[in-house]
Amino acid sequence: MSKISELLRRKRIDMAQRKSTHTPNPSSENRLVNWDKHTFRILAEIKRSSLSAGGIRRNLDLEQLARSYESAGAAAISVLTEEHYFEGSLADLTAVRRSVSVPVLQKDFVLDEFQILEAKEAGADFVLLIARFLTTQEIRHFLEVCDRIQINAVVEVTDENDLRKIKGPVRFLGVNARDLETLQVDTSRFEKMRGLLPDAYLIAESGIDSIETLRKVTSLGYNGALIGEHFLRAEDPAKELARFVGATLVVARTGRDKPCPYRLAKVKICGITNERDAQLAIQEGASALGFVFAESPRRVSPGQLKSFRNNISVPCVGVFRGNKQNEIQAIVDECRLDIAQIYDSCSVSIPAWKARTATSLDQISELVGKNQLVDIKLSDSDLPAAWKLLGQQTVF
């Protein structure tokens, strides 16, 4: 009997035992998530072991790790709750749920609607429905259950046969590069499956262990990535996550010619003039680096940046004020910039942050909700009020 067959057999036995002693009472809270497709999100996974690799990181502080993932930019935390091969539990999920404010995904092998009710009772915002182990009728029914109790479902597929089981619309669709029966990973599956996928929030799963693979996923038009083992094997999982989050601030392609700028940077270190400072900022977790081409004591020339541009692993942002449009475009092309931070009215061939300087709380109030990058120049005493006004606005 294969590992996955044994896992499913034990899952059914365990579930039958729980059903005989417990009736889930999930809360009536609406946990439905509405993620826009123009923001690439990384879901960071927590697991002690796996079916394919065995022990990964058994001695971990669940709550501390979850909080560090959230601080590093995780859009959601995935928690393995399978007991025998992944050494997880619903108690793990509950512990993570009370530790973070981002959504929590229960990663398990759902075979019965009882498990969906259990998941929401334990605090899950998402459940995973693996098409490989479900029938068309079961997928449809489980999605109806999720709608009824207001919890999100990620339907996971591996190949075309799995995809054929999905007969109706889905909001979140995962493509797993790992075949759960052979346990082999093939990241080319992301590209092979991409043209077959329906309109949904698309999440790439498994095998994403490098910035290069992550960028390939974004370029294919996936909207998110679920990454676990790579982070957990890193010396500092949260720091590695922060590095990946920074790398997602790139221009990907959704379809043939529709640019989709992904916005996930948390911290941009601006005024970089040399490679030593650039590498130090990256090592400390910078999500993006800013290079000033406007008049400034920190101004850098295109030639200076070009001398070390190939060694920068996070997005490069060019800061322009008072530059002519043709000059900006020439620097964008010469230095292969990822983003242009522009204070004047002009257009360029890459995503642009329309920036405004705010020197008063009144000016900040005017900019809230207008999709502007706000360059704050206030006294320290006014900063708390400024942060309150800006709320969830993007600020660098």
Choosing from 70, 82, 118, 205, the catalytic residue is 205
Residues 6 or more apart whose Cβ sits within 8 Å of residue 204: 174, 175, 177, 190, 217, 222, 224, 225, 226
Instruction: Please say if 19 is a catalytic residue.
Output: no
Instruction: Please say if 107 is a catalytic residue.
Output: yes
Instruction: Please say if 176 is a catalytic residue.
Output: yes
Instruction: Please say if 326 is a catalytic residue.
Output: no
Choosing from 50, 78, 107, 118, the catalytic residue is 107
Choosing from 45, 118, 229, 240, the catalytic residue is 45
Three-state SS across the chain? CCHHHHHHHHHHHHHHHHHHHCCCCCCCCCCCCCCCCCCCEEEEEECCEECCCEECCCCCCHHHHHHHHHHHCCCEEEEECCCCCCCCCHHHHHHHHCCCCCCEEEECCCCCHHHHHHHHHHCCCEEEEEHHHCCHHHHHHHHHHHHHHCCEEEEEECCHHHHHCCCCCCCEEEEECECCCCCCECCHHHHHHHCCCCCCEEEEECCCCCHHHHHHHHHCCCCEEEECHHHHHCCCHHHHHHHHHHHCCCEEECCCCCEEECCCCCCEEECCCCHHHHHHHHHCCCCEEEEECCCCCCECCHHHHHCCHHHCCCCEEEEECCCCHHHHHHHHHHHCCCEEEECCCCCCCCCEEEEEEECCHHHHHHHCCCCCEEEECCCHHHHHHHHHHHCCCCEC
Instruction: Please say if 205 is a catalytic residue.
Output: yes
249 exposed, middle or buried (CB, 10 Å; 0-12, 13-18, 19+)? buried
Choosing from 206, 223, 287, 323, the catalytic residue is 206
Choosing from 70, 118, 156, 240, the catalytic residue is 156
Instruction: Please say if 82 is a catalytic residue.
Output: no
Choosing from 176, 223, 287, 323, the catalytic residue is 176
Helix 237-247, helix 211-219: angle, nearest 10? 40
Q: How far apart are CA 225 and CA 4, in angstroms?
A: 23
Strand pairing partners for 79? Answer: 46, 106
What is the set of active-site residues? 45, 47, 107, 156, 176, 205-206
